[in-house]
Amino acid sequence: MTGPINTFPSRAREQAVLTPEQERYNKLCQKYPHARAPFSRRPDLSRRRFFNIAGAGLVGSYLAGSAKQAKACTVQVSQPVTAHNTAKNVIFIMLAGAPSHTDTFDLKVLNGTTPAAFNPTTINGVNWPMGLMPKMGQQLGKMALVRSMSATALVHSLSQRWTQIGRNPSAALGNIAPNIGSLVALEKAGDRQPGQVFPTFLALNSAAAPGNGYFAATYAPFRVVPATTGINNTTNPLGQPAFNELWSRLHQLDDPLRVNSPLGTDVDDYDEFYTAANQMMYNSVVTQAFSYTNADSQRYGNNTFGNACLVAKQVLAANQGTRFIEITLGNWDMHIDIYGISNPKGNNLFTLCPVLDNGVGALLNDLEASNMLSSTLIVLVGEFGRTAGPITPALGRDHLNQQTAIFIGGGVVGGTVIGSTNATGSDTADFGWSRQRYVKPEDVEATIYSAVGINWTTVRCDDPFMRGFEYVPMSEENVYGPIDELWG
């Protein structure tokens, strides 16, 4: 795959502020240029594969892997750091397709361009499109807007993966790099309590999300498309008594090779995976967390994204071991008719923004009502932004590096804005944070790790290339780090 990868984006960047730190970053990127080699999809864990054997009468399992080998690996920490450690859980909302920041989270009103129906409203100094997202606008006091973020790549697939693995997918270890959620799952495996049966990493409506990379399959995303009936294949057509009998027979036949197996740790791991899947069979806790009523679905917008937000809330409330949830909301790639001028009922901001608004608005209300918002970090981010100023002749907006990320809960100080853009929103005017350069996906990754108490400078020794896998790239050079200003 090839495409524009810019260390100092050129399009509409003539007014960019070149601070010493940004200049240092640019020189470092020139010294270590971004490769453009193809990259492959990494393994993932699907709901179907998890339960396909279980539904047939045996027991579902995760993909094969060696969890014990990963646990046994020693790690080295390149720098002593103090993580904020204010969040227990993470909900990562991937806005795939790249929303127009100047029409949403960094609203720039342009006479003759911005629709009056946006209803631009100033709330605590923030200009917000209340006509598009009134519920989120009412909760701006809980949000921190990072407006000095800039993507490095302008190709959707490349930059989306970059955002979710926190590094260049075309770099040396890009092909084997895990999803941020898989790394959180690995680090938090030791926190799981007896009786917790949910996978640590849950991916809702995220079929295209990166998987566990070279990590053991235990840490892969458990992919689910929410449905009112919950997860399929958690019961057996023969009934529970027959299923229990089959489970018992399986162990009668297999235990000599399955338990303390002479065949090695891989078979032991299989036994652990089978047991984990069996715990989700005929389990009322699973049914309650993953199913929902039509009334609750209506509160969240009665759509796939809203249902994912609803299930995320219920899964965290169940406290069954899930620590990282990824939700994807796509269709933001609006090169054509972004305001619905030609087709008001088509895919445009007036039809898509309410989907986001209803889902996130209800999620924040429910998390706060259940006292979980303070321990749950919510991150909303796309892969890049869209061109500023007048819309194109196609009535849309094209790709631009400049973008905005939103952080909510998990100890983050709400009602704050970090960084600012110029009059049109085409570039950053003030970086607004201590590193005095553009915020990058690697910084967002480090921020998530810091929030949940993970040392982002950790380097693992177990990657298949024996190069040393850095949790966040270039840790020894202190190139990337958390956006500490989010905590005040």
DSSP 11-54: TT-TT----HHHHHHHHHHHHSPPP-----PPP-EEHHHHHHHH
The answer to whether residues 278 and 348 belong to one domain is: no
- Are residues 447 and 472 both part of a single domain? yes
Q: Are residues 405 and 380 in the same domain?
A: yes
Residue 428, domain CATH: 3.40.720.10
- Domain extent, residue 275, equals 41-72+235-282
Q: Same domain for 463 and 317?
A: yes
- Residue 242 carries which DSSP code? H
Is residue 291 situated within a structural domain? no
Whether 141 and 24 share a structural domain:
yes
Taking 90 as the threshold, does the pLDDT of residue 32 lie above it?
no
Structural domain contains residue 288: no
Q: Is residue 296 part of a domain?
A: no
pLDDT of 1 above 50: no
Q: 447 in a domain, yes or no?
A: yes
Domain count, the chain: 2
Is there a single domain that holds both residue 68 and residue 81? Answer: no
Which range is least confidently modeled, 20-34, 58-72, 89-103, 391-405? 58-72
Could you tell me if 118 and 242 lie in one domain? no
Mean pLDDT in the chain?
89
Q: Residue 265 has what pLDDT?
A: 66
Residue 55 makes CB contacts below 8 A (sequence gap 6+) with 232, 233, 236, 237
Residue positions counted in the chain:
488
Q: Which of 78-82, 218-222, 269-273 has the lowest mean pLDDT?
A: 269-273
In a domain, 241, yes or no: yes
Do 359 and 226 reside in the same domain of the chain?
yes
pLDDT digits (tens, 9 = 90+) for 444-488: 999 999 999 999 999 999 999 989 999 999 988 899 999 999 999
321 vs 274, residue with greater confidence: 321
Structure tokens at 136: 């989120």
Do 86 and 227 sit in the same domain of this protein?
yes
Give the pLDDT confidence of 178-187 residue by residue, as tens digits: 999 999 999 9
Compute the C-alpha angle 35/41/46, nearest 5°.
Answer: 155
Q: Is 15 part of a structural domain of the chain?
A: no
pLDDT for 73 equals 55
Residue 30 confidence class, pLDDT cut points 50, 70, 90: confident
- What does each C-alpha distance from 53 to 60, 63, 203, 246, 277 come to in angstroms? 5, 12, 21, 12, 10
* Residue where a domain stops, chosen among 248, 282, 316: 282
Is 290 inside a domain boundary? Answer: no
Take residue 195 and report the two structure tokens written for it. 């009786």
The verdict on 164 and 256 lying in the same domain is no
User: What does the pLDDT read at residue 33?
Assistant: 63
Residue 6 forms part of a structural domain: no
Q: Is the pLDDT of residue 68 over 90?
A: no
| pLDDT higher than 80, residue 381 | yes
Listed residues 249, 282, 315: the one ending a domain: 282
Cα gap 231→228, rounded to integer Å: 9
pLDDT at 439 over 80: yes
Nearest by Cα to 430 from 15, 65, 151: 15
**65 and 78 assigned to the same domain:** no
Do 48 and 29 share a structural domain? no
Q: What is the 3-state secondary structure (H, E, C) of 168-188?
A: CCCCCCHHHCCCHHHHHHHHC
